[in-house]
Chain A
């Protein structure tokens, strides 16, 4: 864990923490929209429009952190984030990242699972960042 050697208050980790908090918020918004959709509070066009607005920012934030970890030689964190980055990239490549309003109701359950997995992943990342931050802070 030599990348933890930068002692003291870790700006990168604080930013990562805020960033992953943002990602969790985005996922929660998507989950809320999904429940709204399931209770027919919003229609499929509106749902897709709102979700599609959120998806790209999420991808970009996630990718930015992965790249930043790579550049700052935090290998472990980078490797942890890499699978999600690759997954996002593949979705983007095959044009699956955006929700198709005509197929919304065929994918709701799958999309829900997908969101839950991501939520769990971001939560884990959140605690790891927190741990690293605190570790650095107190290892001083």
Chain B
């Protein structure tokens, strides 16, 4: 066959330029490859990445779905345009724990150090780069600074303090400052130097208190504080006021706000149209920021009951303290008293008390915080053993996965375990440890009024009854296999849940439900809703909400809440299964739903097993409640995630685990006159080890008077997340088309607001344009990816106009609700890699030796067909699924090397994993997949997409969101539309 020319080839002037800029990108005729320099220091790596100018083109898809041969962007492409999104970032290499063990990807979870999260890493980072999207307020403008100085002598200086871990911070700051792919006209190096210059001068200066921010400030502006007694006095006062620094703020992996500053009034917030809110991931796994556990007395404000934190103001020499949330002045208890060091304004014992120096701490709670003895970790399995469960192989997989996780569950000696199976009757197993090691089985057949015999031995201590439990698993499997000929399809989920409730209600814990059918039977029957007629109309919304019959599950979930029960739901149905109705079980109880449409063990077994094991073994907090307190003027308007609001501000979370995220929307009710605003979240929970604990996160943010400045402080990750969650609410309360409309409108509103601010003060702005063809579309540096994410959201399966199975859409909607920031962003804008070893510059040979992927993923391509090639092998990773695209002209030898068979022999319905083959191509491809998986806690299945696949190809194509797809216009077109709409308004 004739070799086709692809848009990435050198005929394109854009790419020529690109090639010139980066010598490492080579052999583009065969395929575009990311740079691999295993030995090049990181700096170099990122610089290259930075130089790569991603291009906005109107990527229309031609007939054979490949990218156009020519760009429509006619003028010589200047470098001012960037469209590459932030998520694709090989950020991991800077984690020392990762770089040491290149092969540990699968077993040892490499913690995703996200581009956004890295912003969190240090304040120094932010200083290096004034344009950092998530940067904290800085003294950017002299004018502004002086103005603020007059108003507030306590102007925060974020360039301080220079913490001992400086070197580490710098390491982290490097990726941050150079990625996400920055504007080429970005004056970064200079800024960096400047900032370093300042910082380096500082220790050499006259300062006797290097920790004191104001001094540096004074020094910088030539103010002598020594000569002025008044200012000295002033300074002593301000020493008392704690400044937010990298050390004492809560790390962003736990709590992250959509703006790193608080507007002073609701009118200024409304003018920007940026949603104010935060995401909280209470049990985030963050190896860089271990949460210190404090077992001393818990000090709380008398009035608002908030916990002591680094931002309280010490008065009367330490005898009293002013709460930063409600401004109430509290007396310091005698046993908590410590004198104040007047040189630093901090307590003398600050180094011994993490709660005074860290924004995230965990208190070991006393008896007052416990109503009953902390609940043991409890897992109760409710397994559907109807015909479909056996045929699909689900039962076999489940039993194996449960058996596999027993060891790790047993590590906590108090763990309780129970299991129950059901079809048209309920089978209970008395797991009491007996010499015979055999369980006693009870069958309950009366399904409309379930009664469980009053034994306590349906739920037993795992360690004591381990042998019986293992035997029970065998028995369940053999019994079910014997029944294969009896085709039982009456799956009485409602009755089974009632029985499970009776067994677990006194203890609480987690009920794991595995369900293969739409529930039938006398209780909790769900009808098959008429899908075809309403799909694509406004009435589609009704399908995404619980049906009238689904109220049963809602009410059941509510009764679970009162008994600290949480439900995890695994659905395997190959027909309609009404995820919307069943989902309320998980949404209300803080559980999680997993859905494997048309499950077969061959196709999904591995993914299911991995997810089940993960859901059993991840860190879980039991019988938790959470409350977020805000300082005056702020008000939390709504929560998103899987929770139940017990009181107006008290979230009930029967369990919460390390994968769950809550999102809060905040409004401003009053004008805020103080200089700082605080927000504190407190999670009271039972640790698996049997301790009652309180996990407290505190953030303190400066209040900004000028609303135009707010754009600088916007955090695109949280903003996108908030907008998407608001759009889901809109979709459920109104319609999908309204939700899409709302998304686009939000983008227009924000950018219009930004344009208005630019008219008002020009010198303050640092605007950016996305394309030379849209010169009037200006947007703030911090939100430059907003249009891209909005396009991605509009085309995403959750909101798209594509006719989607409501089960799948509802599942993704619910999944998105409790998804963490990074996964959420990546679900909208996936990563896109080539799985083939990049070629050398001059030879038609793979690089030899083949590049080592030391836990570093290559740079992600932009999501457009331009990057596809017929002879290529690509993977698109969206956090839920890995789509492996096999080009139809993939070299047979490569195919043989990687798949172990001919291309035509790959069966997408049975494919689970790349085979482990001993050659460099296979190793490379597997490594990319392994590294991609390591970023997510959820295990991703692989979907093979062949170029001519009629079912999966459109699905794959819809992920390439920068192209024009049936779901919507291309990114370029969207930018042009945006420009038009903003000009009109």
Contact = CB atoms under 8 A, between A and B. Distances in A.
B109 to A, nearest CB: 33
Given A95-B548, A102-B588, A106-B638, A40 B647 contact: yes
A89 to B, nearest CB: 17
A108 B644 CA distance: 16
Interface stretch (B236-244, B352-360, B554-562, B883-891): B554-562
B638 A101 contact: no
Interface in A5-38: 37-38
B588 A40 contact: no
A50 B584 CA distance: 22
**Residue from B548, B644, B647 whose CB has the most chain A CB atoms within 10 Å:** B647
B644 A102 contact: yes
B648 interface: yes
A40 B558 contact: no
A82 interface: no
B647 A45 contact: no
Secondary structure type dominating chain A contacts = helix
A65 to B, nearest CB: 29
B648 A38 contact: yes
Contacts of A40: 647-648, 650
A44 interface: yes
A101 B638 CA distance: 15
Contacts of B562: 45
Instruction: Bin the interface of chain A by size.
Output: 10 to 19
B646 interface: yes
Contacts of B646: 43-45
B645 interface: yes
Interface in B565-603: 584, 587-588
A106 B562 CA distance: 20
A121 interface: no
Contacts of A125: none
Interface residues of B, number: 15
A105 interface: yes
B647 A102 contact: no
Contact of A104 (B548, B584, B645): B645
Given A95-B548, A106-B638, A101 B558 contact: yes
Nearest to B645: A105
Nearest to A43: B646
Interface in B359-402: none
A122 to B, nearest CB: 28
B560 to A, nearest CB: 11
Contacts of A104: 645
A38 B648 CA distance: 7
Contacts of A105: 645, 648
Contacts of B645: 44, 102, 104-105
A45 B561 contact: yes
Contacts of B554: 100, 102
Contacts of A45: 558, 561-562, 646
Contacts of B548: 95
A100 B551 CA distance: 10
Interface in A88-106: 95, 100-102, 104-106
B533 to A, nearest CB: 19
A105 B647 CA distance: 8
Interface in B929-980: none
A117 B588 CA distance: 32
Given A40-B647, A45-B561, 11 more contacts: A37-B648, A44-B644, A44-B645, A44-B646, A45-B558, A45-B646, A102-B558, A102-B587, A102-B644, A105-B648, A108-B648
Interface of B: 548, 554, 558, 561-562, 584, 587-588, 638, 644-648, 650
Q: Which 4 A-B pairs have the closest CB atoms?
A: A40-B647, A105-B648, A43-B646, A105-B645
22 contacts: A37-B648, A38-B648, A40-B647, A40-B648, A40-B650, A43-B646, A43-B647, A44-B646, A44-B647, A45-B558, A45-B562, A95-B548, A100-B554, A101-B558, A101-B644, A102-B587, A102-B588, A102-B644, A102-B645, A104-B645, A105-B648, A108-B648
